[in-house]
Structure 1
Amino acid sequence: MPSEPFFELAPYHLTLAIGGLVVILAQWLPRLVSRREPAAAALMILFGAGAALLFPGAAPMPDPRQTPLPWELMSEMAVIVALFGAGMRIDELGPLRRWRPTWRLLGIAMPLTIIAVAWLGTGLVGLTLAGAILLGAVLAPTDPVLASDVQVGPPHQGREHPVRFALTTEAGLNDGLAFPFVYLGLLIAAEGLSPATWGTEWLLQDVLYRTVVGAVSGWLGARLLGVILFSVPRGAVLADTAAGVLALAGIVLCYGSTELVEGYGFIAVAVMGLTLRRVEKDHAFHRRLHDFSESIEHALTALLLVALGSALPRLFVDLTWTHLVVALLLLLIIRPLAGWLALLGTDLGRRDRAVMAVYGVRGIGSIYYLAYAASHVEFADEAEIWSLVALVIVLSTVLHGFSVGWAVDRLDEGEGKG
């Protein structure tokens, strides 16, 4: 029997070692020049890509173009936890005028972004209409995971500057609100451009029913979980002793049950976070729950970013200069301009409007939407869309990650003067 080599580089163990090293370096290296870690996301992707080139046999995840399901499931869980956490961070919902920038970003900036990206997809990249609409829907939402540096602080900490409030609530709600456009792309891909056939069904089912059911389910789920945590039994409530895992189970229950009745689970968990935060709002459990869910969010995000980086050498095979032009137009012109136009007429200053308009970070949510679509319908332009979306995420994490520290400093300075 031939002896096996003593040092055997098993791909699985090599993947674990490289992944751990990448995450540690990405979190540690920025500390040499700054006390923040906003560049960690970009470094995890870039280091993951470098590791994949050096060790091609150590890819932690399969190619998303061929096997999208693992990407869908991992990114789905990361977004669920992030959306709930975004809702939990909001200490005060009122007054109602605080929400004006949020509604404008959701109702004006996001549709404008979808339309502009879809137009570029058909006119510049040469995508089919279904693929272009899907591309617009995938790239329109502000990511609740990677945008945390410009969001409000944890419960009871305050830091609810109008810019932070708007970006937190936008990121918490627009992932669910982008879903109707994902379904629109799927419908056109499956049935063609014939609104007379599927238009009414799309409006009533995918836009109205799923959105309302998601919001109602989130509210009911939060109220029921609030009773379990804070009210019954009155003498020994779970919130005084329970770990965050109990509430995390409630989040998963709310999301899963909402999806079972065909509602938007992303909207449900965001509304659940906002509503649960109002129950016994001064209780210390809210901070414990936020910290627990944030730890899970960070762990899942790190795994996904390293995995995305490792997939870049394969995804970028189909990359063209046209893709680069579209990505730069989205990040540097389309989103900033759409956000700026949406916020005209508000009482926000120029600096605040600029930060809201510019910092629409693209990330984990885009991975989920594209993997979800790829799991349900085969698109003719799927390889091109994956390449373009991956490029946008890389550029967004680099551009936003390395500049967000400066933007946050300007916000804090303005808040201090106010």
Structure 2
Amino acid sequence: MRVLAAMSGGVDSAVAAARAVDAGHDVVGVHLALSRMPGTLRTGSRGCCTIEDSLDARRAAERLGIPFYVWDFSERFADDVVGDFIAEYAAGRTPNPCMRCNERIKFAAVLEKALALGFDAVATGHYAHIVTDAAGNRELHRASDEAKDQSYVLGVLTSEQLAHAMFPLGTTPSKAVVRAEAASRGLTVAQKPDSHDICFIPDGDTRGWLAERIEPQQGAIVDRSGETLGSHDGATSYTVGQRKGLGIGRPAPDGRPRFVLEVRPRTNEVVVGPREALAVRELAGARYSWAGLDPVASGVTTAEVDGGTSWFACDVQVRAHGEPVPARARLAAGSASAPELVVEMDAPLLGVAPGQTAVLYVGTRVVGQCTIDRTTSAVPVDAAAEPARAS
């Protein structure tokens, strides 16, 4: 099988490529150039896809004896990932750029080009596991090493993309095993630090980076009833769940700390309130997809009818390293009759914001995901149990 190994310059992708070679595949390595700043250097574990990373990837490919290329996806990355990130924050949402990169770059643009060039699969160093059922359908599952599991950020993959995806590290028991294997193979990246933070904001100052791209506009900080408590210099500097740096001059009547509950871009307001008001009992999103077959139609789970509505049981995870919580989900008519995926948690989740991704699991299997458009608070504003306003 002809396999395109996406080599980021890190230890995981290098070992994944090596295992693909060991499996007897015809492997070609490729590094994705995602930045138009060729002089960019990596700083410790911050950032990725830099000139240093491309050189590390090239050295690993040479050690493995496979052809190596650099593909320039900087323009598409700028539009589909960086541009999306800015637009989402400008709309008062909290995006996950890694989800967009996997969705639109690594498993859309790259896979599309790979298939056009005659490759059968794209291999990456993600920690996730693909299982093929008796009918030949491919399922995405959590990795054996739960601490390194990356199935969440792969929840955007469709059945067509899973059919051409390869994750050689999925059943590896730990990252230590991968590093030891890299060292034994003579790969210089064996002890290279893992990258973290947002790759296109390597200094980690997201607030400052956004301020240079979205003109700050002064607005009001209000409580849930609409009373003005203070002012802000730019709503994009605030995220749901934030406690520090609110800039409110007077304490809450009960003396307890306030948290950001909501960012309202239309009115340029930041809504604050008590910690318990961060609890969300329901979330929904119109941008949804199934990671493989429809979970009910394929028999992965069984729909139960409640009040005339079909629900299926699942677990939901809203952060890459968050804990999955029991829930139930259904498809429903959303705004303008567009369908949306609605998820109702058995117990409220704290600090869920529009723009985040909700990934659904049945056991270890990823069954689908949605980008969150709206949430419903578990704590009413008043005795009338008014739901939280959507951003």
TM-score range, shorter chain: under 0.3
Larger RCO: 1 or 2 (CA < 8 Å, sep 6+): 1
Whichever structure has more strand as a proportion of its residues is 2
Whichever structure has more helix as a proportion of its residues is 1
TM-score, scaled relative to structure 1? 0.23
TM-score, scaled relative to structure 2? 0.24
